[in-house]
Structure 1
Amino acid sequence: MSPEYRAIFDDWSPPIFLTTALLLTAILYTRGWYAIRKTRPALFPTWRLVTFNLGIATIWVSIASPMDGFADALLSAHMVEHLLLMSFVPPLLLLGYPQVPLLRGIPHVITVRLLAPFLRMKWLRNLGHFFTKPVVAWLAMNLTFLAWHLPAAYDFALEHEHWHEFEHICFLTTSILFWWPLIRPWPTSSRYPGWIMLPYLVLADIVNTALSAFLAFCDRPVYTSYVERPNPFHIDPIADQRAGAVIMWVLGSLIFLVPAVFVTFRLLHQEKTRRA
């Protein structure tokens, strides 16, 4: 292993709180999944257990593993980190239909005495319905995505660790909102929003493409942190910036456009069924 890579791993230590929280979440979900599978085996096949726990593992890899150290040194690694948090983790978690298994996994006394009063609050449920409306969810994710990639905000987050953690929380939560109307995890209403989901995905891809193209074709480093900090890998900041832009552009577009194809086939099948 080269000295540059060794330095990243030597400086890394697993964050105890985050690692414990993620492990506890995986245990609670798995416990609840086994409980609900006894009565709804068709709704909770094994692959839902796998996808949810894979999503939890991906969170750990992106922000708790040595990748976070590489993201501090390289813009391209930082873009991979953001891509994992925003485009891979949310679909994996939501495909696990997490609401009921997590509640079933929590000890019954805690659910009844602490959580039940909140779950019965109508205003809280209405707030959840509001934030998962397609327009609201789309704006929340894309405006957050653009705001944190403004040079001032991006550099500020890199310089202040707690704000960097808050940035990750913003990316993850708003991306879960974005993917919610598409996946609609049970027991969310099964009524699908319809053809609005196509512009929903395509317009999100346009936002991603616009930012990626700006970073790719800009002839100067956009984020000064990568210029002012010593680069242990001795990679030219412009080359690193363009590599990060290509990763965002190619993989990000696939993340939006592949689901758009599936949504199209699903809606066409529904139309055909309705006419039949």
Structure 2
Amino acid sequence: MRPLARLTLAAGASLASGPVAAHGGWQGGVEHAPAWLLQALYVLAWVGHALGAARVPARPAQALAFHTALLLAGVALFGPLDDWAAHSTAMHMVQHMVLIVGVAPLLVVAQPLPQWRACFGRLPVALARGPLRLAAAPMAAATVHALALWAWHAPGPYTAALLHEGWHVLEHASFLLTAWIFWWSVWRAPAARGLGALAALLFTLMHTGLLGALLTFAPQPLYLRESRDLWDQQLAGLVMWVPGGLAYLAAAAWSAARLLDRADRRAPG
């Protein structure tokens, strides 16, 4: 193992031993191992990028995007927002939206793989190879992301994620991973796949809007009915429907503008 990787692992292990909140607070016990793993990976990602950037410097805009993404992820996963999400469907949805339309696209802009490879060797590239292959097909990436969103917002999986840390960590990991693949597929699509990227964005805009509308107009709470108010679920639906929809709409407008610009440049005369 490279010296930088050993140093990063040691730093991650020491920081991961501290307390972190996860829907009500993490305490001792092996049942909290998934939460500890999430914390360790978070620290390793940040420290590894810093050590790798000493050998392979990131451009200023990419470095800013990466650190902003990690700050947002920390706020969403380890701060008071995570405690509030334990008792509020709306706050849980805010948490999801921060990861999906905040952290994930910023990581696409940041392109941290060169820095992670400089620290950890080929492992990050090997792990990213499969997701990047999927990202080459925008509609396929959008479909996988849609499946993750709809599956985890079904009452059974959603409630399981609230009650068990392992499912909770898996839920957030699947949202972040599939969102990263999706945003990579639409933002970094070559010109020849521009129409497919636009279709993927419009598809995502429509199905997330539908999911938000279902949560907003459901006649009764769908999750933990005895402890969740209907207004809280309605607010959660609006969070997905409006801010999330605006993010997808803005990206679709950018994609359409890029297509029109390409058509203008190819037009004769």
TM-score band by shorter chain is 0.7 to 0.9
1:147 maps to which residue?
Answer: 151
- 1:215–1:130 Cα change, 3 Å: closer
Alignment of 1:96-107 (within 5 A): 96-104=110-118, 106=119
**In structure 2, how many angstroms separate the alpha carbons of the residues matched to 1:270 and 1:61?**
39
**Structure 2: where are the runs of 5+ without partners?**
1-20, 28-34
2:208 maps to which residue?
Answer: 208
Q: With the length of structure 2 as denominator, give the TM-score of the two structures.
A: 0.79
Counterpart amino acid of residue 254 in structure 1? L
1:247 maps to which residue?
Answer: 239
Q: How many residues align?
A: 240
- Contact preservation (8 Å) 2:73, 2:103: yes
Task: Select 2:99's aligned residue among 85, 89, 93.
Answer: 85
Counterpart amino acid of residue 145 in structure 1? L
Shift in Å, 1:198: 1.7
Deviation per residue, 1:43-68 (Å, 9 max, x gap):
x5312101111111111111111211
2:73 maps to which residue?
Answer: 59
Q: With the length of structure 1 as denominator, give the TM-score of the two structures.
A: 0.77
1:22 maps to which residue?
Answer: 42
Structure whose CA Rg is larger: 1
- Contact preservation (8 Å) 1:197, 1:263: yes
Counterpart amino acid of residue 41 in structure 2? A
**In structure 1, how many angstroms separate the alpha carbons of the residues matched to 2:133 and 2:65?**
24
- Contact preservation (8 Å) 1:138, 1:178: yes
- 1:273–1:32 Cα change, 3 Å: farther
Deviation per residue, 1:89-119 (Å, 9 max, x gap):
1101110122212212x0xxx52xx649x85
- Contact preservation (8 Å) 1:132, 1:178: no
- After superposition, the CA RMSD in angstroms is 2.8
- Contact preservation (8 Å) 2:25, 2:83: yes
Task: Select 1:183's aligned residue among 176, 183, 187.
Answer: 187
**Structure 1: where are the runs of 5+ without partners?**
1-7, 38-43, 232-236
User: Is 1:163 the equivalent of 2:167?
Assistant: yes
Query: What is the identity percentage for the equivalent residue pairs of Structure 1 and Structure 2?
Result: 28
- 1:271–1:203 Cα change, 3 Å: same
**In structure 1, how many angstroms separate the alpha carbons of the residues matched to 2:209 and 2:130?**
33
Shift in Å, 1:126: 6.5
2:226 maps to which residue?
Answer: 228
**In structure 1, how many angstroms separate the alpha carbons of the residues matched to 2:234 and 2:110?**
35
